[in-house]
């Protein structure tokens, strides 16, 4: 999120494409990203998923509240960054074609969690990150960009994760900027 926000400010997405980060929304009130966003002068909002646990269908109730919060901003893109919840099919379909995520593996390899350790355990020579459109299938949407890093002989999940993260900070803002550029051309 911070890398995207920094790119938006540095490259003046507002002047170039009429695009801005409308709001940083988190499902966790104590998320570090909220404080970082506030420090960067961005609007923030919390839709706390724990408040929906008493509903008969908590995931659907939370996703409905999250959609209401997002839709208030009428976004051209919905960019997930550090959002660690599986979204309901209704939510995903609602934002189809404009919902993005980044995953810390070279999809289709290693969807889900613990990707770095799984890559090391599998003996991979390379790992990386994938920016993709979100679909109803977990970590399975159309790939928009990938970055590759070597897996070193002495890597741990943490050292590999740190090396992948540096590339995530490069490719995710780049993909968002490319999509915004295309959207401004199609107006």
Determine if the peptide bond prior to 8 is cis (ω within 30°): no
Count other Cβ atoms within 10 Å, centred on residue 122: 11
Q: What is the pLDDT of residue 179?
A: 97
User: Is 77 in contact with 86 (CB distance < 8 Å)?
Assistant: no
**Mean pLDDT of the 91-107 span:** 97
Q: What is the pLDDT of residue 184?
A: 77
User: Is 122 in contact with 164 (CB distance < 8 Å)?
Assistant: no
Distance CA 67, CA 84 (A): 16
Q: Which of 49, 57, 94, 103 is catalytic?
A: 103
* The pLDDT of residue 68 is above 90: yes
* The pLDDT of residue 98 is above 80: yes
User: Is 42 in contact with 6 (CB distance < 8 Å)?
Assistant: no
Question: What would the pLDDT profile of 10-35 be if each residue is shown by its tens digit?
Answer: 999 999 999 999 999 999 999 999 99
- Give pTM, 2 decimals: 0.95
* Range with lowest mean pLDDT among 6-15, 151-160, 175-184: 175-184
Active site annotation includes 116? no
pLDDT band at 183 (very low <50, low <70, confident <90, very high): confident
**Domains parsed from the chain with CATH numbers:** 2-185 (3.40.50.170)
Q: What is the pLDDT of residue 187?
A: 61
Distance CA 155, CA 64 (A): 41
Per-residue tokens: 115: 């990707």
DSSP single-letter state for residue 36: H
Question: What would the pLDDT profile of 51-60 be if each residue is shown by its tens digit?
Answer: 999 999 999 9
* The pLDDT of residue 144 is above 70: yes
């Amino acid at each position: 999120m911070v890398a995207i926000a920094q790119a938006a400010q540095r490259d003046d997405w507002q002047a170039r494409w009429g695009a801005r980060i409308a709001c940083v929304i988190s499902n966790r009130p104590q998320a570090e990203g909220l404080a970082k966003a506030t420090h960067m002068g961005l609007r923030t909002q919390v839709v706390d998923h724990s408040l929906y646990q008493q509903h008969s269908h908590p995931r659907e109730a939370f996703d409905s509240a999250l959609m209401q919060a997002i839709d208030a901003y009428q976004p051209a893109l919905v960019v997930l960054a550090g959002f660690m919840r599986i979204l309901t099919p209704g939510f995903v379909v609602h934002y189809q074609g404009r919902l993005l995520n980044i995953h810390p593996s070279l999809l289709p390899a290693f969807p889900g969690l613990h990707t770095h350790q799984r890559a090391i355990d599998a003996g991979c020579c390379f790992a990386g990150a994938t920016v993709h459109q979100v679909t109803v299938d977990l970590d399975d949407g159309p790939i928009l960009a990938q970055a590759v890093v070597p897996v070193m002989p002495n890597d741990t999940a943490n050292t590999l994760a740190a090396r992948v993260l540096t590339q995530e900070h490069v490719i995710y803002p780049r993909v968002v900027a490319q999509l915004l550029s295309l959207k401004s051309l199609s107006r």
